[in-house]
C-alpha cells in the first residue's frame, strides 16, 4: 500500500492497470491489484496458509483489545491494528497450530504495565484477577483504565472486560457458559488519561484452579453476562470485543521479544 499525493490527475477510485485506488482512514492510497493464487496445494502450502489464518483469526477475535492496545502502533506503521498484531506476533504462532500465548503482544505503549498478582476462577465461573496498583511507577496513575481480555483456545472466542481503575487493584469477569479455566488465556492492558496504552501482561491462571474448575455449562447465561458489562459470545470473524484477563508476568524486554522474530520493526 502506498499513499497517493495529489498529482496532475488527482486521486482515483477503482482499478487502473495493475493498481487499485481507494480511501483508507481518510487517505487516498493505492495498492497492487490482487491476482489469483496459483501455488500448488501441497501439504507445505496448506500448513503455511493455516499458520497465517490462525494469526488473522486471533486478531479478528481480539479486535476490541487491539483497537485499544495497538492503535498508536498501527497509526505509526500506517496499517490496521490487526495487521500490526500479525507483524508483532509472527514468531508466536507455530506451524502445526501451537501458539505461545504467554508472549503474545496485544498492546504496546508508554503507560505503566499492569502487573498481575493472582488469578482464580471460582465455583460460579467468575474469573477474578488481582494486580499491583503500581503507585511507584513513573507513568502510573490511579485513574488509569485497566482492561482484561480473555480468550478460549478451544472455541476460539474472546471477550473484553469493562475497565476498572488502576487504583482498585482487581477485576472480575463472568466467563461464558462452556468455558473451563484450563482453556482460558488472559491478558491485562491499561490506558492512561491521554488514551496511551501500556504493554500487555499475560495473566497465568493458578494451576490448581485450572485443574479443579469444571466446564461452566449451565452457568450464568449470556444475557446475565451482558448485564454485567461483558460482551456476549461471538464468532471470531465478527471482531467481537473481548474480556480481558490480567495476570502480569514480570517479563523483561528479552523475554517477550523472542517470539516476535520475523515480526519486523517493533519500535
Q: Is residue 95 part of a domain?
A: yes
Are 165 and 57 in a shared domain? no
Q: 64 and 87: one domain?
A: yes
| Average pLDDT, integer, range 196-211 | 80
Query: Are residues 186 and 161 located together in one domain of the fold?
Result: yes
What CATH number should be reported for the domain holding residue 149?
Answer: 2.60.40
Average pLDDT (89-107) is: 92
Domain assignment present for residue 75? The answer is yes
**Given this model, what pLDDT does residue 130 score?**
95
- pTM (global) more than 0.75: no
Q: Is residue 262 part of a domain?
A: no
Reported confidence tier of residue 190, pLDDT bands at 50, 70, 90: very high
The pLDDT value recorded for residue 146 is: 97
Provide mean pLDDT across the span 168-176: 93
- For residues 63 and 22, state if they share a domain: no
Residues 250 and 210 in one domain: yes
Domain C-terminal end among 61, 77, 103: 103
> Region 10-37: what's the mean pLDDT?
70
In a domain, 109, yes or no: no
Instruction: Print burial letters for 109-146: b (CB count within 10 Å at least 16), e (below 16).
Output: bebbbbbbeebbbeeebbbebbbbbbeeeeebbeebbb
Share of the chain above pLDDT 70, in %: 65
Question: Quick one: 53 and 141 in the same domain?
Answer: no
* Co-location of 123 and 214 in the same domain: yes
Pair (167, 244) in one structural domain: yes
**Least confident segment among 72-81, 144-153, 188-197, 209-218:** 209-218
3-class SS string, the chain: CEECCCCCCCCCCEEECCEEEEEECCEEEEEECCCCCCCCCCHHHHHHHHHHHHHHHHHHHCHHHHHHHCHHHHHHHCCCHHHHHHHHHHHHECCCCCECHHHCCCCCCCECCCCEEEEEECCCCEEEEEECCCCCCCCCCCCCEEEEEEEECCCCEEEECCCEEHHHCEEEEECCCCCCHHHEEEEEEEECCCCCEECCEECCCCHHHHHHCCCCCCCCCHHHHHHCCCCCCCCHHHCCCCEECCCCCCCCHHHHHHHHCCCCCCC
For residue 27, the model assigns a pLDDT of 72
- In this prediction, residue 180 carries a pLDDT of 87
Quick check: is 111 in a domain? no
Q: Are residues 48 and 23 in the same domain?
A: no
pLDDT at position 135: 57
User: What's the pLDDT band for 224 if we cut at 50, 70, 90?
Assistant: very low
Number of domains in the chain: 3
Q: Would 265 be classed as within a structural domain? A: no
Q: Are residues 152 and 52 in the same domain?
A: no
Confidence at residue 10, expressed as pLDDT on a 0 to 100 scale: 64
Residue 29's pLDDT is what? 72
Whole-number mean pLDDT of the chain?
75
User: Is 89's pLDDT higher than 90?
Assistant: yes
Instruction: Let me know whether 160 and 202 are in one domain.
Output: yes
Task: With respect to residue 200, please indicate whether it lies within any of the assigned structural domains.
Answer: yes
118-142: average pLDDT: 85
Task: Name the band, by pLDDT with cuts 50, 70 and 90, for residue 229.
Answer: very low
Does the pLDDT at position 241 exceed 70? no
In a domain, 264, yes or no: no
Domain that holds residue 148: 116-256
Query: 25 and 123: one domain?
Result: no
Q: Which of 139 and 105 is assigned the larger pLDDT?
A: 105
Amino acid at each position: 500500500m502506498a499513499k497517493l499525493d495529489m498529482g496532475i490527475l488527482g486521486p482515483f477510485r477503482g482499478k487502473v492497470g495493475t493498481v487499485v485506488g481507494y480511501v483508507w482512514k481518510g487517505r487516498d492510497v493505492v495498492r497492487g491489484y490482487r491476482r489469483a493464487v496459483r501455488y500448488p496445494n501441497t501439504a507445505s502450502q496448506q500448513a503455511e496458509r493455516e499458520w497465517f489464518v490462525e494469526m488473522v483469526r486471533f486478531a479478528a477475535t481480539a479486535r476490541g483489545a487491539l483497537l485499544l492496545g495497538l492503535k498508536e502502533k498501527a497509526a505509526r506503521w500506517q496499517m490496521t491494528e490487526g495487521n500490526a498484531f500479525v507483524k508483532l506476533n509472527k514468531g508466536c504462532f507455530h506451524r502445526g497450530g501451537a501458539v505461545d500465548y504467554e508472549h503474545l503482544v496485544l498492546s504496546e505503549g508508554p503507560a505503566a504495565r499492569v502487573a498481575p498478582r493472582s488469578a482464580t476462577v471460582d465455583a460460579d465461573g467468575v474469573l477474578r484477577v488481582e494486580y499491583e496498583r503500581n503507585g511507584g511507577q513513573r507513568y502510573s496513575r490511579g485513574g488509569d483504565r485497566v482492561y482484561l481480555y480473555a480468550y478460549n483456545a478451544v472455541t476460539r472466542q474472546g471477550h473484553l472486560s469493562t475497565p476498572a481503575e488502576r487504583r482498585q487493584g482487581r477485576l472480575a469477569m463472568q466467563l461464558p457458559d462452556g468455558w473451563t479455566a484450563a482453556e482460558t488465556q488472559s491478558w491485562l492492558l491499561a490506558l492512561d488519561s491521554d488514551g496511551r496504552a501500556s504493554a500487555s501482561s499475560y495473566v497465568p491462571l493458578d494451576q490448581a484452579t485450572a485443574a479443579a474448575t469444571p466446564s461452566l455449562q449451565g452457568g450464568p447465561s449470556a444475557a446475565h453476562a451482558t448485564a454485567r458489562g461483558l460482551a456476549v459470545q461471538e464468532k471470531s470473524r465478527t471482531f467481537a470485543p473481548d474480556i480481558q484477563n490480567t495476570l502480569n508476568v514480570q517479563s523483561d524486554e528479552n523475554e517477550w521479544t523472542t517470539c516476535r522474530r520475523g515480526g519486523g520493526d517493533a519500535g
